[in-house]
Amino acid sequence: MGPLNIHFQKKNIETMAANYEDRDTLFNFVVKEGNGVKGLIDSGMSCVPQPFVQPLSERIATPNGQTCEAVQPIDLSQIDGPCHTEVAKQIVEAAETLGFFQIKCKWQVVNHGVSVELLELLKMSAHEFFEQPPENKAVYLKEVSPSKLVKYGTSFVPEKEKAIEWKDYVALDFLKSSMAMVKRIVEVLMEDVGVILEEERMNSLVGTKMVNMNYYPTCPSPELTIGVGRHSDMGMLTVLLQDSIGGLYVKPDNGDWAEIPPLNGALVINVGDTLQIRLYLEYFSKALYKILSTDSKQWEGSNHKHRIERLSVPIFTAPTPSEKIGPLPEVVERDGVARYKEVLFQDYMNNFFSQPHDGKKSLDFARAD
């Protein structure tokens, strides 16, 4: 029996889960052999093993039912029409206050259209990927994947995390159709500080694109776990497709955690570290966010027709690795101070991926003081 097709018997899993000590066995099964969190659930495990239990400070006691205000999605298809000023204002305000907003997608809108049909297909293919037997997925484990562009795994940096995130993922290298939208939003935000980017400059600022497919199996005790810990993304803008399950919570500097509600046919946009560094404004709030796990019991006996495992597809856009990132000269001049130093994006990225999720700590790498 090869290492990739060791199947845990239900009994073994329960024994292991009962004596929470055996972190190594659990780690091998979930992370190294590629069974993922889904593999645990499929083996009939009924309580959360200790390595997944989050410290109290990282949990949200109970989903508090708070939803972020301004849930009306922005209609980007109007950006180049008579409502330009109004739409640009909505984008700038949303980026400055919460760093999160939603964009309405329309089928075949010229220029910035991301097709709703394509989004549905994406969600379906992602479910198909995760529902394969573990040995098929394990082929794409990041250490052995035959392709540089496809990587499968669990959590974020499970080797270093105090508690492993309740999430499996597959990362693909890019998705073309949303790039026009990303560029247009970046343009609008730059214009607001008086910066006009030439095409070449823009291309290097968003030259790295990566698509993840995140799969959050339901959890027997979701109050103990977290799908993704407090963090911000490292790049420019993230375009996030979430399904209808919910669980994306955002916390502004001086506010409570509140949910970005799932909206059919809309994409969530959020401001990443790089954009924060380049466009730093005193009032530019940079919200943290985390993902709650879904309760497996909530669905027991219900006649649900829909899938219950949460799925999300973020498209991360970031500078090319050789780009230097630091505050824009225009911003430094206006503020009279550079709050971040210039760093090579490759170095920023290496640091980001070597640390577990820990709120805004990733930004310290580029902080001036």
Ligand X SMILES: O=C(O)CCC(=O)C(=O)O
Count of residues of this chain found to bind ligand X when the rule CB under 6 A is applied = 10
CB of 4 to ligand X, least distance (A): 25
Nearer to ligand X (CB atom), residue 154 or residue 312? 312
What is the residue type of 338? A
CA pair distance 144, 187, nearest whole angstrom: 39
How far apart CA 107 and CA 113 sit, in angstroms, is: 7
- For residue 9, the Cα-to-chain-centroid distance in whole angstroms is 32
Of 248, 266, 279, 328, which lies in the binding site for ligand X, with binding defined by CB under 6 A?
Answer: 248
Nearest to ligand X of 25, 355 (CB atom): 355
Q: How far is the CB of 82 from ligand X (least distance, A)?
A: 34
Nearest approach, Cβ of 231 to Fe ion (angstroms)?
A: 6
- The Cα-based distances of 320 to 56, 206, 235, 337, 352 in angstroms read 38, 7, 10, 26, 15
Write down the least CB distance from residue 37 to Fe ion, Å.
17
Residue 117, beta-bridge partner list:
none
Place of tokens 């039912």: 65
Least Å distance between CB 353 and ligand X?
11
The Cα 49–Cα 18 span in angstroms is: 8
What tokens does 19 get?
Answer: 């004596």
Among 231, 272, 273, which Cα is nearest to 250's?
A: 231
The number of angstroms, rounded, from the C-alpha of 200 to the middle of its chain's C-alpha atoms is 27
Residues 321-350 contacting ligand X, CB under 6 A: none
Phi, psi (5° rounding) for residue 219? -130, 135
Question: How far apart (Å, rounded) are the C-alpha atoms in residues 320 and 115?
Answer: 26
Partner in contact with 98, chosen from ligand X, Fe ion, none, beta carbon below 5 to 8 Å by kind: none
Which of 228, 239, 275, 366 is close enough to bind ligand X by CB under 6 A? 228
Contact between 168 and 38 under an 8 Å Cβ cutoff? The reply is: yes
242 binds, among Fe ion, ligand X, none (CB under 5 to 8 A by kind): ligand X
Determine the length of the chain. 369
Per CB under 6 A, contacts with ligand X among 175-214 are 212, 214
Per partner kind, with CB cut-offs from 5 to 8 A, the member of Fe ion, ligand X, none near residue 240 is: ligand X
In angstroms, give the least distance from the CB of 233 to ligand X. Answer: 5
Q: Does 240 bind ligand X (CB under 6 A)?
A: yes
232 touches which of ligand X, Fe ion, none (CB within 5 to 8 A by kind)? none
Q: 89: which residues sit within 8 A by CB, 6+ positions away?
A: none
Of 233 and 309, which CB lies nearer to Fe ion in the complex structure? 233
CA distance 306 to 304: 5
Q: Which residues bind Fe ion (CB under 5 A)?
A: 233
For ligand X, the closer CB: 215 or 345: 215
Tell which residue, 278, 264, 189, has the closest CA to residue 234. Answer: 278
Shortest distance, position 84 Cβ to ligand X, whole Å: 30
* Minimal CB distance residue for ligand X: 312
Closest residue by beta carbon to Fe ion = 233
Q: State the nearest-atom distance from the C-beta of 15 to ligand X, in Å.
A: 32
Pairing of strands 310-318, 151-154: unpaired
Write the interaction track for ligand X spanning residues 276-315; mark x where CB under 6 A is met and - where it is not.
---------------x--------------------x-x-
Footprint on this chain of ligand X (rule: CB under 6 A): 212, 214, 228, 233, 240, 242, 248, 291, 312, 314
